[in-house]
Amino acid sequence: MWRGSGSACEGSCERASRRRWSRPERSSKRERGTMEHPQLVPPLRRIGLVGRDRTPGIADVLAELRRILDSWEVEVFAEAGLREGVFSHALPLDVAGDGGMDLLISLGGDGTLLRGASSVPLGTPILGVNMGHLGFLTSLPVTHLREGMEQIRRGEAWLDRRSTVEGDVVRNGGELESSVWALNDLVLHKGGVARVVRLRLSVAWGGREEEIAKFSGDGIIVATPTGSTAYSLSAGGPILVPDMASLVVTPISPHTLAMRPLVLPVRGRLTIEALDRVEELVLTADGRKGIPLGPGDRVVVRPGRDRVTLVRFPGQTFFDTLRRKLNWAI
């Protein structure tokens, strides 16, 4: 079992994260092998940092992380707000460039992790250090920062590759305006207008396209299995196991009880069309990149071509996380 580090950041780190956490056992040969989960193989030479400089307690956490990384002899890249104080020597995160990055450390909650995932090349291993309230996607409590980093250094961490979702915005005239991707979800929702919107859903597979439904409501969520425990769950959607090859389509406050969430296989293509009453209708991807939509505009949704790679520790499972962080089935 991991033992407490007794580190200098212990007091402030404890205040930053008080959630119960099951400390994983050291890995078995199977967990370290290549059967189900590829291993995060040291040495790690290029490490990135993302986080908000105003997060309570982050100064102490950065100081502890600096002490850890100094002994690793690594090149550090960081967001602008973190390139002060103990990490003033760090290079800007966006200059990692073609050299890639061996590990991205996200200091915060799920929002910080999602932002970090969009800031580095897809496939970069991301370690979520939870300094937020829930941190469902994070795997390491800030109170166990040193222990977790030591496990990574020993090669006792594995990679969890999560599917993504992509969406093309096609304007009324047929021109493709932009494309977005998300780890959690694509959401079509109203801006600041209180009126409902009317949407049409259709799905294409097997060489033909079929209309699913037309409905009025506040919008719609298309979530990956990873995102099924986020906004979609709050809107009444089901929980999907992360490695399912599916997307969940969840209406937001539909004006009929018959319009329920729908799970679709990823082999098809989903089209969402804005019909009318779409003032301030916006498409967001993991809460970012708000793209306004008008009547006749479409969003063509498909499974993502790439995956986001999260760092996990032996003994951490999806259902254990559900029980601990969402009090599921308790």
206, amino acid identity:
G
What's the chain's Rg over C-alpha atoms?
21
Cα distances (Å, whole numbers) of residue 221 to 116, 132, 228: 22, 24, 10
* Residues 141/21, Cβ–Cβ less than 8 Å: yes
Active-site positions?
Answer: 110
Query: Which helix (H) or strand (E) segment is 51 a member of?
Result: strand 46-51
Distance CA(200)–CA(51), nearest Å, equals 38
Task: Find where tokens 């939509």 sit.
Answer: 293
Dihedral over alpha carbons 187, 192, 193, 194 (to 10 degrees): 90
- Adjacent-strand bridge partners of 271: 202, 300
Distance CA(260)–CA(249), nearest Å, equals 9
Q: DSSP letters along 117-136, please?
A: HTTS-TT-EEEEEE-SS--S
Task: Find where tokens 């450390």 sit.
Answer: 105
Question: Can you tell me whether residue 62 is helix, strand or coil?
Answer: helix
